[in-house]
Amino acid sequence: MSVKVEVIEGGVPHNNILIAGLVGTLVCIYLTYLNVLTGTELFSFFGGLAVVAALVWGSHTIKVLCSYGIGTGVPSAGMIAFGSGVIAMLLATRFGIMAPVVALVLAAVIGFILGYVSNNILNMKIPAMVQALTEMAIVGALTLMGFAALITGGFTFAGLTSGSISVMGMILPSYQASFIGGGLIAVAFLLGAIAIQHPFNATLGPGWKQDRMLMLTAECGFLSMIVAAVMSFALISAVAALISLVVAIFGWIYTYQQYMEMSKRDAAAWLDAKPIPDVEAH
Amino acid sequence: MSAVAAKPAAGGAMNPTAMAVGIVMLIIILGICYVVSPGIGLMALIGVVVGGVLIGFGTHFVPVGGAPAAMGQAPGIATGVAMLAAGAGLAGLFGGAWAAEQGLVVAVVTGGVGGGLMMAITCMMVNFVYVFGMGIPSASGKVAKDPITGDTQAEFKSQGTEGHGLPFISFVGGVIGGTLGGAGGTLIYIQLLSLYEEMLPGMMQITEAQVMPIAVSAAGMFAVGLFLVNAVLTAYNITGTIEGPHDPKFKRWPRAIVASAVASALCGLVAVLIVVPM
């Protein structure tokens, strides 16, 4: 049903968010390449920042799409974003340094065709559908690539499929201790899929405010980054993983505080409820 | 366009031009696959397309109620199409993956049984909650008599609702849908797994035993991705709620078949390309 129930009033136009999100994500993913140039793993945390940038863009795309009553619930948009994104991302990792750009192009092609399929074959006839599904496939692919860079320190197929374990002082190659072989990609998949669909689902309604939703997205992104940073202890050096964890925790605390401020600002009234009070002891 | 004047666009109408374009796209994608990887790659892709179509078709059987069902105002299970399809399909996929070593037929049947079982348990518990928790009888609003049992529905239907609970036909539809979805998901997984087991050792210069975790994980992720894409496209086709195979919306399935085939072929081609030597 192509009934637009809400319009974007005020706030930053969608195209600005699109461009900022795209550029920010690509730059942050490429900054993790400093790992290769400097021979360390200290720059992995940029992958997490790429995740946050992509998610902020993606959640606004979901808002644009779901303003039309699509009748399937907001979470389905997050699911198709990552379902099509993971496919593009896995193939793109084969292209070495070009991987993020290939992921972008490939995801755009997949998303465009899926948009055509749902708009024309399935007769959805929603004006924003093709563009939104294209954007969301890109967001899904780049988010997963950001998680991959955060957890493994790189985004190439060889780096994602092979790791090493040390047995009694000897370093042995292992394909189970890797991003794909160890199944960490499944965790990254759902961390991203939940983080992208939750913000609009949680803030939609008559009191929707753009900055509050985007701040919630950043908060969800940093929360996912904390989990991913903990997982990265298995695959990259402890110092690099610690840097990611500290960045994620500080980012989460800041965005959470900001989000609470905005929630109080937009609320009609605010009662600072306390936990269940202690009953007087006798 | 005001909300009142707008007609629901996603009606039952077919769009013949777009359907033809979709079929042409499907043939082109199969052709590309034949050029880059004839034989094993094309076989895997055909398996993926069949699996995707099974998922897309099976999802139409599942009684999806959404938010109205949670309030007892529409029949079906009280959640969205994408969630139910993903739940049934992934339950089947995990069931089928255990039997992957016992051959294609055993694994696909196991996956189907897993998905059907999951939906049967879900439907039963949902009806428990409806009948004993919310105190509402099961009645369909779309048909006068249950097509299987012949029970009349109108006496049990509350005024102002579209029916409620989970009538017998919806239960049967749910089990059929879960079976088809689980079988489809498993078929995709098995096809990709056998392709990766065959091709990855040569590509990565490692032994077959070493490649197993990567092959399993990559095939699993592609299967999950394909499953979600197909489930959401079917959700777009249904737009909201469906009662089961007796619902008028069920007649929209040809659109979903074409859409699922094109989407599965596209994603499956990408999954095949990952092991094609460059």
Q: What is the pLDDT of residues B166-176, one digit of tens each?
A: 889 999 999 99
Of A4, A83, A180, the CB nearest to B228: A83
Is a pLDDT exceeding 50 seen at residue B102?
yes
| Interchain proximity B233–A118, CB inside 8 Å | yes
Which of A70, A75, A113 minimises the CB distance to B83? A75
Which is more confidently placed, B185 or B81? Answer: B185
pLDDT band at residue B212, thresholds of 50, 70 and 90? confident
Instruction: Look up residue A178 and give its amino acid.
Output: S
* Per-residue CA distances from B152 to B61, B146, B147, B168 (Å): 21, 6, 10, 12
B123-127: long-range pairs with CB below 8 Å, 24+: B123/B63, B123/B77, B123/B166, B123/B170, B123/B171, B123/B174, B123/B175, B124/B171, B126/B77, B126/B78, B126/B166, B127/B165, B127/B166, B127/B171
Q: Is A31 on the interface with B (CB under 8 A)?
A: no
Among A242-256, A268-282, B108-122, the least confident range: A268-282
Contacts of B204 in chain A (CB under 8 A): 158, 161
Instruction: Please determine, for residue B8, whether its predicted confidence score (pLDDT) is greater than 70.
Output: no
pTM of the model: 0.88
pLDDT for A8 equals 52
Task: Determine the pLDDT at residue A100.
Answer: 92
A38–chain B Cβ distance below 8 A for any pair? no
pLDDT score recorded for residue A281: 63
SS3 call for B234: helix
Q: Report pLDDT for B7.
A: 42
Q: pLDDT exceeding 70 applies to what percent of chain B?
A: 96
pLDDT the model gives residue A276: 75
Tell me the pLDDT tens digit for each residue of A96-137: 889 999 999 999 999 999 999 988 888 888 888 899 999 999
A122 contacts chain B (CB < 8 A): yes
A140-168: per-residue pLDDT in tens?
999 999 999 999 888 888 778 877 776 67
d(CA A154, CA B237): 39
Residue B68 touches partner A, C-beta closer than 8 Å: no
- Mutual angle of helices B253-273 and A75-92, in 10-degree steps: 30
C-beta separation of A48 from A248 below 8 A:
yes
Could you tell me the pLDDT band of residue A74, with boundaries at 50, 70 and 90? confident
Average pLDDT, chain B: 86
Beta bridge mates, A172: A165
Best B232, B242, B257, B269 residue to mutate vs chain A (most A CBs within 10 Å) = B232
Chain A residues close to B239, C-beta within 8 Å? 1, 70-72, 124
- Cα torsion B33, B37, B38, B40: sign: negative
Mean pLDDT of B217-228: 89
Test B262 with A94 for CB contact under 8 angstroms. Answer: no
Token code pair at residue B56: 């897309």
Tokens of A215: 């701040």
Question: In this structure, what token pair is assigned to residue B53?
Answer: 């179509």
How many whole angstroms separate alpha carbon B157 and alpha carbon A244?
A: 57
Nearest CA in chain A to B218: A180
Chain B contact set for A72 (CB, 8 A): 80-82, 232, 235-236, 238-240
Cα distance from A61 to chain B (closest Cα, Å)? 17
Query: Rounded distance, CA B115 to CA B185, Å?
Result: 9
> How many residue pairs from chains A and B have C-beta atoms closer than 8 A?
176
Query: Among partner residues B3, B256, B273, which is closest to A91 by beta-carbon distance?
Result: B273
Interface membership of A96 toward B (CB under 8 Å): no
Residue B1: the pLDDT is: 35
User: Looking at beta carbons, which residues of chain B come within 8 Å of A161?
Assistant: 204, 214
Distance from the Cα of residue A157 to its chain's centroid: 20
pLDDT at B90: 79
Q: CA Rg, chain A, in Å?
A: 20
Using DSSP's 3-state secondary structure scheme, residue B39 falls into coil
3-class DSSP state of A96: helix
CA distance A261 to chain B (A): 31
- Over range B73-90, report the average pLDDT: 82
B32 in contact with chain A, both atoms CB, cutoff 8 A? no
Q: Do A86 and B204 touch (CB under 8 A)?
A: no
Instruction: Express each pLDDT in B103-152 by its tens digit.
Output: 889 999 999 999 999 999 999 999 899 999 988 888 888 888 888 888 88
Task: Decide if pLDDT at B4 tops 80.
Answer: no
DSSP 8-class letter at B14: -
pLDDT per position as a tens digit, A31-61: 998 888 888 888 999 999 999 999 999 999 9
**Pure H helices in A67-207:** 75-92, 99-116, 129-152, 157-161, 184-203
The dihedral sign for the CA sequence A120, A126, A127, A131: negative
Does residue A197 come out as left (phi exceeding 0), alpha (psi in the -120 to 50 range) or beta? alpha
Which residues from A are below 8 Å from B9, CB to CB? 1-2, 123-126
3-state DSSP assignment of residue A233: coil
Query: Quick one: what percent of chain A has pLDDT higher than 70?
Result: 94
Closest approach of chain A CAs to the CA of B79, in angstroms?
Answer: 9
Q: Is A79 on the interface with B (CB under 8 A)?
A: yes
Residue B242: strand pairing partners: B64
